[in-house]
Amino acid sequence: MKTTEQIAAELQGYDPQSLRAEAVLEFLSKLVEPVQEVDHVGVFDALGRVLAQDVISPISVPAHDNSAMDGFAFDSAQLRPDRPLTLQIIGTALAGKAWQGSVAHGQCVKIMTGAIMPKGLDTVVPQELAQVSGTQITLAPGLLQPGDNRRKLGEDLLVGRSALQKGELLAPAALGLLASLGIASVPVLRRLRVAYFSTGDEILSLGEAPREGAVFDSNRYTVFGLLTRLGVQVIDLGVVRDEPVLLEAAFRSAAAQADAIITSGGVSVGEADYTKAMMKQLGDVAFWKIAMRPGRPMAVGRIPAGDQRSTILFGLPGNPVAVMVTFLAFVRPALLQMMGCSPKATPLLKARSLDALRKKPGRTEYQRGIVRSTPEGTLQVATTGNQGSGVLSSMVQANGLIVLHHAQGNVAVGDEVDVMMFDGVM
């Protein structure tokens, strides 16, 4: 296992006093490792879990050629481009069982959606496009092509092929896919355990009486929401005061229970508390000034947890918006990697800026934005206004972050920018 110094030595241009955002992600990708333990869970319990191995399809889906809609099945060899086709209806094929008759030239079978295609028939005319007269139908010329409205055997999945891949985070559609294959349980990696606490003598928990100079702790609740949305097992250790004995006990308790620890507060230069000192004392921790806004200070490393095991530490800044931005930009991808999930990065979308944005090259900025679609189907984004790192209400108003990259300069109205959407993330 490499130390933080050894990992840093592998990064080109590593500077802990002005670390680029992309270097943070590279560092964390080398620091963390996926959990290995495997659980077997039923499909109803698999939502949000990460597959431990590939799922191989035990059947073909669909298992037979079948009709994609209600209509009339017939042999397309009878179609002619220059004249209508009249066919005699000789029976009805229902979903759930095969139609047992045989179909001759000039005949067709009324068929329901999902019904097996009768032998020798390859095309379905939707019932609303057929002219029905008693037991006959007439099709206009040029209406259909051979194979129209037929689902072919195995066109979704073929038996023996990979249906879902190891590392996939199981979403609702994946649950339906598993059920469609008759699979009742799947192997998944165990849930990641993440402990978190806030630090500071000025922090009040809900229910405490207000006092001068103190603020209510919001970070615990936003971090709880972010972790819960991610699907990890959350261990809330509350608020820890700036006292060495209490901080040491909190870190040791968190390390004993969790795969990762998240703290907020106590990592800025010149802060009058013991958090940084305790991190240094207990573990192999690097302290960074990241070239970003908001969220410049951050600590990361490992704390020994016994039995040759260590727990990953993420020390986040104390300002509420900075906590959420550093979590979304850095901590969430690292936790997804620890969960065994692939891919890990939140995709960036392109949107046209409705505002002129001032930006100096040399740092990455994450501005809160409101993204909307235009009638033409493109995206546009406006800022929420005040971008101060303590303006928590702006994160409520926003539905994404405008990501202004390290080398990027000022943005004019109408320029294209990258946006990181919140939907499904927070």
Determine the residue type at 183: I
| Cα–Cα distance for residue pair 32/29, rounded to 1 Å | 6
Element (H, E) at 407: none
- What pLDDT sits at residue 241? 87
Query: What is the sign, positive or negative, of the torsion defined by CA atoms of 425, 392, 215, 293?
Result: positive
| Structure-block tokens of residue 326 | 């550093």
- Domains for the chain: give ranges and CATH numbers: 4-36+191-338 (3.40.980.10), 39-60+163-189 (3.90.105.10), 66-151 (2.170.190.11), 349-421 (2.40.340.10)
Which residue has 């349980």 as its token pair? 185
- Write out pLDDT tens, residues 363-402: 999 999 999 999 999 999 999 988 887 788 999 999 999 9
- What pLDDT sits at residue 162? 96
Specify the length of the chain in residues: 426
- What pLDDT sits at residue 344? 73
Q: Are strands 71-74 and 123-126 parallel, antiparallel or unpaired?
A: antiparallel
- What pLDDT sits at residue 270? 59
Q: Are strands 107-111 and 379-383 parallel, antiparallel or unpaired?
A: unpaired
- What pLDDT sits at residue 216? 78
| Cα–Cα distance for residue pair 129/70, rounded to 1 Å | 11
According to DSSP, the residues that pair with 350 across neighbouring strands are 418
Are the CB atoms for 11 and 31 separated by under 8 Å?
A: no
- Write out pLDDT tens, residues 345-364: 788 999 999 999 999 999 99
Cis peptide before 62 (omega within 30 of 0): yes
| Structure-block tokens of residue 403 | 């990501």
| Structure-block tokens of residue 330 | 């850095």
| Cα–Cα distance for residue pair 181/193, rounded to 1 Å | 31
| Structure-block tokens of residue 50 | 């990460």
- What pLDDT sits at residue 221? 92
**CB atoms inside a 10 Å sphere around CB 66:** 21
Q: Collapse the DSSP code of 215 into the 3-class scheme (helix H, G, I; strand E, B; otherwise coil) and give the result.
A: strand
| Cα–Cα distance for residue pair 133/81, rounded to 1 Å | 22
| Cα–Cα distance for residue pair 134/87, rounded to 1 Å | 11
Q: Classify residue 262 by burial, with Cβ atoms within 10 Å: 0-12, 13-18, 19+.
A: buried
At 388, give phi and psi (nearest 5°): -60, 145
Task: DSSP letter for 40, please.
Answer: E
- What pLDDT sits at residue 276? 85
Q: Are strands 131-133 and 123-126 parallel, antiparallel or unpaired?
A: unpaired
| Cα–Cα distance for residue pair 408/250, rounded to 1 Å | 41
Model pTM score? 0.89
At 277, give phi and psi (nearest 5°): -65, -40
| pLDDT tens track, the chain, 426 positions | 899 999 999 999 899 999 999 999 999 999 999 999 999 999 999 999 999 999 999 999 999 999 999 999 999 999 999 999 999 999 999 999 899 999 999 999 999 999 999 999 999 999 999 999 999 999 999 999 999 999 999 999 999 999 999 999 999 999 999 999 999 999 999 999 999 999 887 777 777 778 877 787 889 999 999 999 999 999 999 999 888 899 999 999 999 999 999 999 877 765 545 788 899 899 999 999 999 999 899 999 999 987 789 999 999 998 999 999 999 999 999 999 999 998 777 889 999 999 999 999 999 999 999 999 999 999 999 999 888 877 889 999 999 999 999 999 999 999 999 999 998 776
Q: Collapse the DSSP code of 416 into the 3-class scheme (helix H, G, I; strand E, B; otherwise coil) and give the result.
A: strand
| Cα–Cα distance for residue pair 362/407, rounded to 1 Å | 6
